[in-house]
Chain A
Amino acid sequence: GNSVTQMEGPVTLSEEAFLTINCTYTATGYPSLFWYVQYPGEGLQLLLKATKADDKGSNKGFEATYRKETTSFHLEKGSVQVSDSAVYFCALSDQGGNTPLVFGKGTRLSVIA
């Protein structure tokens, strides 16, 4: 079955540091890939997505590129802020528009001023 593996946290960075959270997936066909963010006490928010190979999703300074050859979708940000502290989830869904999301375990990021 489909699965997502992301780096275990927690990750602690100083403000303005470079962020990378690794994510790899196993899936048949050509899934859509996502990064979701969960702030304390809240639900999940879609951060960015990519629906085909070589697509780059970007939002709020975060980027991730769909790499089919390495089955990866690593999340990056050039300069993190304290407000980026949250839990980040990598996820995939099969093509088809209405298939369930399969999530990684989540990576907790703490940014220190």
Chain B
Amino acid sequence: QKEVEQDPGPLSVPEGAIVSLNCTYSNSAFQYFMWYRQYSRKGPELLMYTYSSGNKEDGRFTAQVDKSSKYISLFIRDSQPSDSATYLCAIRAGGGNKLTFGTGTQLKVEL
């Protein structure tokens, strides 16, 4: 079993839709949770960073962490074609250095 599981998609939604992206993890030591966006042939770009259970909002993006269920989510409101990319969850243990990534979910927002 992988430490971090993420549905690879692809996920196709119409413009303006609310998108929900999810990851589950198995290691209780994971304390820091990130979402990266990766456009084709580009490096991952940090979108959201959180270290506690609950919600964190930044513009159209909301990150949600449920440590009791070992489940993290990223919501994108009013999705735009420019949001079409691969979204990677990344998790790190407290005091650790290594990021453990999910496999990424490919999202396509269609006009």
Q: Is B one of A's binding partners? A: no
